[in-house]
Structure 1
């Protein structure tokens, strides 16, 4: 390809797809190199660049122990723990396939994974788990579930539309968000999915005020309530997407407002929680589900499973209503497969193609290992480590004459988010000659940090640059330094001295990464900014 990427649909990049039509091809696809399988069954965001061996987010499908990774708001390379879990899972599936057949063994494993995910998140057995290739794909699943209850024509009110993945502007309207799906189908970006003939409007409620700050919590609640009320007054049902949390670390609206909306419009409004960053506690997830809300999650943001993996969680009462309504999943035929949906969703599964998505499955196997590892760490250490590291990051950014930390949301007194009520995304602007750098210049620095020209320098991965509006309304870029579950899991030890030493190493990695950012600001190349490609859309 002219852009230097390795196309996933090609035989050497999508072994499962290329061999599936051959005799015994499904099973033979499992014998492909694990790195190839891990990036299969995904959309173009997983394409690897020929020159770097990484995707557009500079993540690799093999462990990178020497990379300083603070990019979990976007994506992270697979860890050795995740890689081993995926390898072991593949071996186990091969053994099961000998006696049960590959497709039956695969479906059994996906059902078992639903139970494992519920167990790791402390959820009841009657919570349904619908797997997907990414959080963006899960948005399309939520839209189809909502459509079953709200009717073919409704409004999507998206809270934090300015701070969510760029695919949301399409999924909120029932449109294709890319040009190739995770199931290897070519589609037209921006076109309606099959079966969605009626109009689905999208109403954006931004979190930023456009002048260097965020809308206050009380004002934002009022804006969300007003947006919902206007739609219902116009006799349009509403799918309300609440944000927990955004790519800059903000949550909205308040739990109290969500309950108020659900009580006033129990049939006209359906609430979906965008928790794809997974920076919330198990107790908060359970609260959302107990309240009757859908919850969208991933294994590939805070928990650092390999990019990408998504899931939609449904409470039992909502599942019952959707099944009684008979969901039309025509539009999802090009996005998923039967095994994504629980076995008791007979009618839904019948509408979708059979066959496994090995890449999606292996990415979730790796993510489950990361989730289990994090929650095996004592609560007190998780709290202590996140607070210490967060304070260190904020203080170092504040002390820099070239970096400015964006405002952080105050923690609500009633928060159920335990240690994850603490900030884990630290977004900052970069200044050169007193002026904040635009997004293009931030992308250039982001790339140079990830792909250093000095072979002795460790790559540094930060969250992809995003746009921010300054006090005067002018646009600039921000980078994001993010803490993740992997940082805490890898730092923990039952030996206090060893744990302290491991935390000290993390503090040093933070210092090194921020020093490298400042070095980019004070040592400008003659040819800056670079005109190289800066990767795919912001996550």
Structure 2
């Protein structure tokens, strides 16, 4: 049976590129597919399952694997048993109501209820913010760009902070381009080609590190950001500044003071969008962004450890009111978002988008919401205490590993909650006096994820490279704390010891793998060629 996201359709006439006889007779019939299959549909090619391993590009499967140690929440996590059960209950409830009242209407109502619940769980309800759903953080970037362009005009330039530590798709979304060969709506695309009505867009990327690898100072980043924005505005351009709340390695840029100055100096000329896709921020910081008129990109699949992919754009009240009056945004955005992704009260704008439900995206958000419910039920003091103790344990394990070198985390002192503490622990691996390259770290990461007869698999955050012309001369792997870890420790007295024991085993395995000839220059070169 085919499902949304597995139907690859050409962008010109939107017709499925499959035999019509093989098409489902109705969207309702698709809901009767196995839950695993539904959870792995409705996204771009990154979500597709390898037929040999049954896992997606991030090493995650569509069904629970509670025995699999996972420290990969900065990249992606395998769905938890509670998330899987929540998705199953939601699917059963929709099937029952749809047979009585119609699928499209019931699906739309359920997504609207999810939107309201997410506002409550995140603490954003008092701000008057609105939520636009998307299949991933990358898709959410496209939605933010389309909204910014619709409100500011076509002469828009994007400025991307931490361009060297953000998602790989950002290099394309910042230009208004397709970032893959298939959109979340199942539309065939050409990577790098402009999206109808959205691209091409000029873009400037600002790096956190110098070419030789040195991390730039916050003051230098602030100064460059102000100079670039001021220059663009002086040239008559409108600017969408995509600031970084938490990068792949846990860094933020520019500073809050810099963002406040930009917002004050160029109202109506600069729209600030906060990349908080890692979701490593508390409600106070999140609502602070919204109160200052910033859009916020969020996912349920990073810190919250819901299944990949689930994205959202949070719109502050004043922008939500303006978007609600729009009749159209870039037509190519309909390849990525559906009608239910937009609030029901925006009737005119919603008509531009297909009514076909994206079951995969919806069910992944149902699972993510269950994770967020469980996390917010943990008292704030307990959350902070768990993060502090787990973080100290992970840092100690990395420091005690002969070949590992812990990278210093950037201070998050502006947060008054658990996110004032690091939750991403990045480290390089040494062979002699040389740090391993990105290709070599990828070999290790894959070997750890695959496991072997004498050792179980384990998921770490994918390696992040820097230094050298292609940012691949040196790389770091990542051990991450997730909301799931916090909930487990709160509900199970032995969970903290278990989590640290699993992390210790992962570090020991990396040390053992470093001694094996499989992690060789030749194999690393092959891995580099594949990527």
TM-score (structure 2 length as normaliser): 0.92
1:353 matched to 2:354? The reply is yes
SS at match of 1:209: coil
Match of 1:481 among 462, 479, 482: 479
Greater shift after overlay, 162-171 or 312-321?
312-321
Q: Tell me if the contact between 1:464 and 1:480 (Cα under 8 Å) persists in the aligned partners.
A: yes
Q: 1:536 to 1:141 in 2, by over 3 A?
A: farther
SS at match of 1:492: helix
Q: 1:47 to 1:69 in 2, by over 3 A?
A: same
Q: Deviations over 1:151-209 (max 9, x none)?
A: 11211010111100010010001000001011111011101111236x52111111113
1:452 matched to 2:451? The reply is yes
Q: Which residue of 2 aligns with 1:4?
A: none
Q: Which residue of 2 aligns with 1:315?
A: 316
Q: 1:10 to 1:324 in 2, by over 3 A?
A: closer
Q: Deviations over 1:403-433 (max 9, x none)?
A: 1112211233xx1351012111111111113
Q: Which residue of 1 aligns with 2:13?
A: none
> Equivalent residues in 2 for 1:288-327 (5 A)?
288-324=289-325, 326-327=327-328
CA distance in 1, matches of 2:302, 2:144: 19
Q: Deviations over 1:17-41 (max 9, x none)?
A: 9999968521110000000000110
Q: 1:18 to 1:479 in 2, by over 3 A?
A: farther
Q: 1:269 to 1:114 in 2, by over 3 A?
A: same
Q: Which residue of 2 aligns with 1:185?
A: 187
CA distance in 2, matches of 1:140, 1:332: 7
1:261 matched to 2:262? The reply is yes
SS at match of 2:55: coil
Give 1:518 shift.
1.1
Q: Which residue of 2 aligns with 1:466?
A: 464
Q: Tell me if the contact between 2:411 and 2:420 (Cα under 8 Å) persists in the aligned partners.
A: no
Q: Deviations over 1:453-476 (max 9, x none)?
A: 22x522111111121228xx9821
Q: Which residue of 2 aligns with 1:512?
A: 505
Q: Tell me if the contact between 2:160 and 2:206 (Cα under 8 Å) persists in the aligned partners.
A: yes
Greater shift after overlay, 211-220 or 25-34?
211-220
Q: Which residue of 2 aligns with 1:113?
A: 114
CA distance in 1, matches of 2:24, 2:136: 30
Give 1:481 shift.
1.0
Give 1:388 shift.
1.1
Q: CA RMSD in A?
A: 2.3
Q: Which residue of 1 aligns with 2:433?
A: 434
Gaps in structure 1 of 5+ consecutive residues:
1-6
Q: Which residue of 2 aligns with 1:100?
A: 101
CA distance in 2, matches of 1:214, 1:288: 25
Q: Which residue of 1 aligns with 2:142?
A: 140
Q: Tell me if the contact between 1:425 and 1:483 (Cα under 8 Å) persists in the aligned partners.
A: yes
Greater shift after overlay, 121-130 or 255-264?
121-130
CA distance in 2, matches of 1:398, 1:328: 50
CA distance in 2, matches of 1:145, 1:354: 20
Alignment coverage as a number of residue pairs: 516
Q: Which residue of 1 aligns with 2:177?
A: 175
Give 1:386 shift.
0.8
Q: Tell me if the contact between 2:443 and 2:519 (Cα under 8 Å) persists in the aligned partners.
A: no
> Equivalent residues in 2 for 1:123-522 (5 A)?
123-124=124-125, 126-196=128-198, 199-324=200-325, 326-412=327-413, 415-454=414-453, 456-469=454-467, 475-493=473-491, 498-499=492-493, 501-522=494-515
Gaps in structure 2 of 5+ consecutive residues:
10-15
Give 1:535 shift.
11
SS at match of 1:466: strand
SS at match of 1:156: strand
SS at match of 1:57: coil
CA distance in 1, matches of 2:525, 2:38: 32
Q: 1:430 to 1:119 in 2, by over 3 A?
A: same
CA distance in 1, matches of 2:466, 2:23: 50
Q: 1:343 to 1:526 in 2, by over 3 A?
A: closer
Q: 1:462 to 1:178 in 2, by over 3 A?
A: same
Q: 1:180 to 1:372 in 2, by over 3 A?
A: same
Q: Which residue of 1 aligns with 2:69?
A: 68
Q: Tell me if the contact between 1:10 and 1:18 (Cα under 8 Å) persists in the aligned partners.
A: no
CA distance in 2, matches of 1:526, 1:355: 46
Q: 1:474 to 1:274 in 2, by over 3 A?
A: closer
Give 1:10 shift.
7.9
CA distance in 2, matches of 1:148, 1:336: 16
SS at match of 1:428: strand
Q: Tell me if the contact between 2:161 and 2:244 (Cα under 8 Å) persists in the aligned partners.
A: yes
CA distance in 1, matches of 2:109, 2:166: 34
Q: Tell me if the contact between 2:41 and 2:360 (Cα under 8 Å) persists in the aligned partners.
A: yes
Give 1:396 shift.
2.0
SS at match of 2:335: coil
Q: Which residue of 2 aligns with 1:87?
A: 88
Q: Deviations over 1:99-151 (max 9, x none)?
A: 21111100000000001101111111632110000000000000010001211
Q: Tell me if the contact between 1:176 and 1:193 (Cα under 8 Å) persists in the aligned partners.
A: yes
Q: Deviations over 1:313-334 (max 9, x none)?
A: 1111112223445442302121
CA distance in 1, matches of 2:106, 2:267: 40
Give 1:267 shift.
0.8
CA distance in 1, matches of 2:333, 2:237: 24
CA distance in 2, matches of 1:255, 1:10: 42
Give 1:47 shift.
1.1
TM-score (structure 1 length as normaliser): 0.91
CA distance in 2, matches of 1:379, 1:535: 46
Q: 1:324 to 1:349 in 2, by over 3 A?
A: closer
